[in-house]
């Protein structure tokens, strides 16, 4: 498997030259021209050579939702072509005069590359799915902002009814992400054929565990690997971030293929995060609908620490430049809805991240601690940001509470309202103390709850 995946830029150049250079398989699209119709038959994989395409899905009420945009050297028709369902998940329209090239299975067979097609396109297909997943999250955020404006004049108990339209619009997009990710998880194993190989081991670990180490833990492990095995820092960092336990023998065996095993680990970890994100997106919509309503279904044996890890996986793009300090003590399991727990931490931690990013703290840190205190589990989430203004602090959990400082919104609003509502339904409590340089949210959940 060594050197199976060349550097992305060189590999893309090779793909274009090999598959998309035939002028007889190139099309010019005028602005507004439809390339593919939602649910329409499509047997082609397109590459944008020039211009811009837009993919939209339409629900039964004829409401349009933008699923993606594709510009130069981006692929269109990935899901329908590689899954072989040959039905477009979206309507694709030219936003401007564009030029595209395409391949179909007939042309691939004529070139004699049918058996190797999956291997050759795996990196770009993964990239396209990741881009699609990011767009789905952006859509969810856009809809959340729109929802905040809608509830300004409504009571909290009516939030479920108002959220139903958002839920309906998001279902198609979430389904595309979930189906595509599940399909890729299964088919990537066609590339990693030997289940005893290092590539498979790292892919499987990433798929099961995701990105399990904080940025501080990665730095510490990189330093240990560098000192213990005399590795150069770049290779040590790529091994460290996987979170795999390594010894002297397998470190030596991995040195010649650090890049490729890191690629497979990244692939597995990305699938892990995308699957969590798609499931959590559906849960977020359901939870908004349930706000002010009866309790959702809960199950015994839920791990609070695990739910914090899942929340951090969803927030990886927010915490990329933030030092996350985790001090998670052993906790007893509780009866809870795992999705609701994830949503609590997601909303509180996201709030802290946005505050740190907007105020440009030089060394931003979020401390997350868990412990048992008598008959309660305590979770503390503390950041070293600029703090919450005194006039906002007393109403921080009210719907649509926002503030601006030097033109920047702290983003405090519906997320914290939902978090408080969920916690109250567990007979728990959330409190906050804040001053410049220290904002601390404390959540108490009853162990028997």
pLDDT by residue, tens only, the chain of 449 residues: 333 333 346 778 888 888 999 999 999 999 999 999 999 999 999 999 999 999 988 877 777 878 888 889 889 988 888 888 888 888 999 999 999 999 998 888 888 877 778 888 888 778 777 777 777 777 777 777 666 655 544 444 444 444 555 555 666 677 777 777 778 777 776 666 666 678 888 888 888 888 878 788 889 989 988 888 888 899 889 989 998 888 777 777 788 888 888 988 988 888 888 887 777 676 665 554 544 444 567 889 999 998 998 888 778 778 878 899 999 999 999 999 888 898 899 889 998 988 888 877 788 999 999 999 989 999 999 999 888 888 888 888 876 565 434 433 333 346 788 888 889 989 999 999 999 889 999 999 999 75
Please name the residues in contact with 174: beta carbons below 8 A apart, sequence gap of 6 or more. Answer: 136, 278, 281, 282
DSSP letters for 336-387: E-HHHHHHHHHHHHHHHHHHHHHHT-SS-EEEEEEEEETTEEEEEEEE-SS-
Give the per-residue pLDDT at 189: 66
Integer CA distances (angstroms), 92 to 58, 245, 399, in order: 11, 45, 37
Q: Which residue has the tokens 């510490």?
A: 220
- The answer to whether 300 and 335 have CB atoms below 8 angstroms apart is yes
Ramachandran region, residue 298 (left: φ > 0; alpha: ψ -120 to 50; beta: rest): beta
SS3 393: helix
* Statement: 1-112 belongs to CATH 2.60.120.10: yes
CA triple 28-33-38, angle to 5 deg: 120
| 122 membership: H or E segment, kind and range | helix 117-150
Q: At residue 424, what are phi and psi to the nearest 5 degrees?
A: -60, -35
Q: How many residues does the chain have?
A: 449
Query: DSSP letter at 245?
Result: -
Break the chain down into helix, strand, coil percent, rounded to 5.
50, 20, 30
Question: What pLDDT, on the 0 to 100 scale, is given for residue 158?
Answer: 46
Closest among 421, 423, 388 to 402, alpha carbons compared: 388
Q: Which residues pair with 370 in a beta bridge?
A: 328, 379
Backbone angles phi, psi at 447, to 5 degrees: -65, -35
Strand partners, 65: 57
Backbone angles phi, psi at 301, to 5 degrees: 80, 20
| 281, 136 contact by CB (below 8 A) | yes
Q: How many CA atoms lie within 13 A of 229 on its CB side?
A: 23
Q: What's the pLDDT score for residue 193?
A: 63
pTM for the full predicted model: 0.43
- Asked whether 126 and 267 are in contact (CB, 8 A), the reply is yes
Please tell me the predicted confidence (pLDDT) of residue 2.
Answer: 36
Let me know if the fold of 1-112 is the same as that of 299-446: no
Q: How far apart are CA 208 and CA 267, in angstroms?
A: 11
Which of 68, 70, 12, 67 shows the shortest CA–CA distance to 46? 70
Q: What was the pLDDT predicted at 171?
A: 64
pLDDT, position 65: 79
Q: Is 146 helix (H, G, I), strand (E, B) or coil?
A: helix
- What's the pLDDT at 127? 77
CATH of region 299-446, choose from 3.40.30.10, 3.30.67.10, 3.90.850.10, 3.30.565.10:
3.30.565.10
Q: Where are the domains of the chain?
A: 1-112, 116-293, 299-446
């Amino acid at each position: 498997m060594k050197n199976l995946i060349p550097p992305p830029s060189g590999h893309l150049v090779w793909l274009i030259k090999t598959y998309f250079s035939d002028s007889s398989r190139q099309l010019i699209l005028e602005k507004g021209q439809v390339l593919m119709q939602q649910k329409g038959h499509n047997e082609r994989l397109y590459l944008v050579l020039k211009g811009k395409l837009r993919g939209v899905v339409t629900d039964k009420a004829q409401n349009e939702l933008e699923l993606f945009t594709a510009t130069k050297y981006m692929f269109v028709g990935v899901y329908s072509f590689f899954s072989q369902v040959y039905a477009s998940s979206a309507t694709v329209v030219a936003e401007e005069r564009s030029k595209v090239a395409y391949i179909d299975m007939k042309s691939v067979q004529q070139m004699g590359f049918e058996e190797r097609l999956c291997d050759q396109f795996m990196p770009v297909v993964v990239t396209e799915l990741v881009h699609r997943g990011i767009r789905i999250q952006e859509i969810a955020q856009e809809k959340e902002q729109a929802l905040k404006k809608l509830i300004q004049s409504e009571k909290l108990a009516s939030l479920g009814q108002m959220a139903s339209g958002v839920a309906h619009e998001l279902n198609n997009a979430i389904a595309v992400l979930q189906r595509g990710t599940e399909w890729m998880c299964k088919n990537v194993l066609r590339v990693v054929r030997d289940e005893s190989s290092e590539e498979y081991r790292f892919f499987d670990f990433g798929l099961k565990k995701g990105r399990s180490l904080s940025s501080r833990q990665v730095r510490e492990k990189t330093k240990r690997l560098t000192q213990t095995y005399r590795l150069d820092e770049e290779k040590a960092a790529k091994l460290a971030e996987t979170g795999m336990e390594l010894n002297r023998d397998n470190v030596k065996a991995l040195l010649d293929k650090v890049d490729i095993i890191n690629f497979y680990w990244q692939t597995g970890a990305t699938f892990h995060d995308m699957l969590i994100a798609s499931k959590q997106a559906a849960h977020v919509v359901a939870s908004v609908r349930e706000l002010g309503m009866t309790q959702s279904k809960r199950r015994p044996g839920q791990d609070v620490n695990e739910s914090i890890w899942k929340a951090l996986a969803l927030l990886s793009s927010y915490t990329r430049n933030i030092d996350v300090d985790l001090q998670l003590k052993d906790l007893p399991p509780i009866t809870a809805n795992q999705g609701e727990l994830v949503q609590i931490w997601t909303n509180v931690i996201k709030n802290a991240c946005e505050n740190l990013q907007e105020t440009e703290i030089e060394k931003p840190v979020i401390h997350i601690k868990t412990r048992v205190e008598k008959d309660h589990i305590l979770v503390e989430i503390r950041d070293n940001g600029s703090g919450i203004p005194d006039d906002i602090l007393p109403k921080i959990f009210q719907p649509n509470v926002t503030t601006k400082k030097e033109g920047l919104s702290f983003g405090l609003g519906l997320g914290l309202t939902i978090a408080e509502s969920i916690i109250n339904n567990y007979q728990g409590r959330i409190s906050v103390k804040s001053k410049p340089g220290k904002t601390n949210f404390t959540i108490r959940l009853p162990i028997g709850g």
